Structure 1
Amino acid sequence: MSQYEAAQQLGTRFHALLTVGDWDGIRELLTDDASWTLPGDNTVSGTAEGADAVVERAKKIASYGLHFELLHILVSRENMALSLHNTARRGDVRLDEHLSTVCRLRDGKIASIETYLSDVAGMDAFFV
């Protein structure tokens, strides 16, 4: 399997585990020192440091009832990114955003995640 196929497979697995809430499975995909940075000023913004904190962030995001639609998996020479369309509704507040979650890989695992959003203000309004 090529490095590109391995990165694509890792992205597919990460998304699948996220959509079903398999937190132990996600933890297995992460290096112990993994981090996840999200923009904005809300309950899920900032940087989660360490694999357990990354899993807790994923749990918190999922707890808001998001639908994670995978549009594309993009690969570079050494890393991969998920192109997603996330939607959710909480009362009168609605989330409808496009994002790219860039994963830097190390030894076949996710070492860091940085998320880029199309609507930071919308995310701030939703995740309160």
Structure 2
Amino acid sequence: METTITVAKRYLDALAAGDFDAVAALFTENVAWHQPGGNRFSGTHVGGGAVGQLLGGQMAVTGGTLEVKPTGAVMVNDALFTLPVHFTAKRDGAEITMDGVDVFRVEGDRIAEVWLFSADQTTEDAFWDAA
């Protein structure tokens, strides 16, 4: 469990610093990122390149305004950790501000899988797919 806690702390530190290169370095080569919903970014993205494209696409669409901030303590269960979050973004006159929970699976000393859960998926889908 110490490794999971260590990885979680490294993730939090990189996220707080806005150091997305450090975040990406925490992922395994074949990381699987499960983006919820039914929008242009939804689905399972496998591999560092695919996850980088997903996150880069979200940053491009929002003009770099997408922010994810922890709202509570990391919770650890063996190789899994969860993080309650609040995310905000702006695009084309639209704004989103929403709570969520991110779940991570650690393999060795890196993140192998990520699942995101949003408080209101319908609203999030509408934000990402707004014309």
TM-score band (shorter)? Answer: 0.7 to 0.9
Q: Write the letter of the residue equivalent to 1:68.
A: V
User: Structure 2 vs 1, CA of residues 15 and 44 (structure 1 numbering), >3 Å: closer, same or farther?
Assistant: farther
Matched, 1:50 2:47: yes
What's the offset of the Cα at 1:20? 4.9
CA distance, structure 1, for counterparts of residue 56 and residue 16 of structure 2: 11
Q: TM-score, normalised by structure 2?
A: 0.81
What is the percentage of aligned positions where both structures have the same residue? 26
SS state of the match for residue 43, structure 1? coil
User: Structure 2 vs 1, CA of residues 61 and 8 (structure 1 numbering), >3 Å: closer, same or farther?
Assistant: farther
Query: Aligned-pair RMSD on alpha carbons?
Result: 2.0
Structure 2 counterparts to residues 104-119 of structure 1, below 5 A: 104-119=105-120
Structure 1 runs of 4+ with >6 Å offset = none
- Contact (CA 8 Å) 1:23, 1:55: kept in 2 or not? no
Structure 2 counterparts to residues 1-128 of structure 1, below 5 A: 3-4=1-2, 6-18=3-15, 20-63=17-60, 64=62, 65-72=65-72, 73-128=74-129
User: Structure 2 vs 1, CA of residues 12 and 56 (structure 1 numbering), >3 Å: closer, same or farther?
Assistant: farther
Q: TM-score, normalised by structure 1?
A: 0.83
What's the offset of the Cα at 1:44? 1.5
What's the offset of the Cα at 1:52? 1.8
- Contact (CA 8 Å) 2:8, 2:81: kept in 1 or not? yes
CA distance, structure 1, for counterparts of residue 115 and residue 99 of structure 2: 14
User: Structure 2 vs 1, CA of residues 22 and 69 (structure 1 numbering), >3 Å: closer, same or farther?
Assistant: closer
Q: Write the letter of the residue equivalent to 1:24.
A: D
SS state of the match for residue 71, structure 2? strand
Number of residue-to-residue matches in the alignment: 125
Q: Write the letter of the residue equivalent to 2:71.
A: L
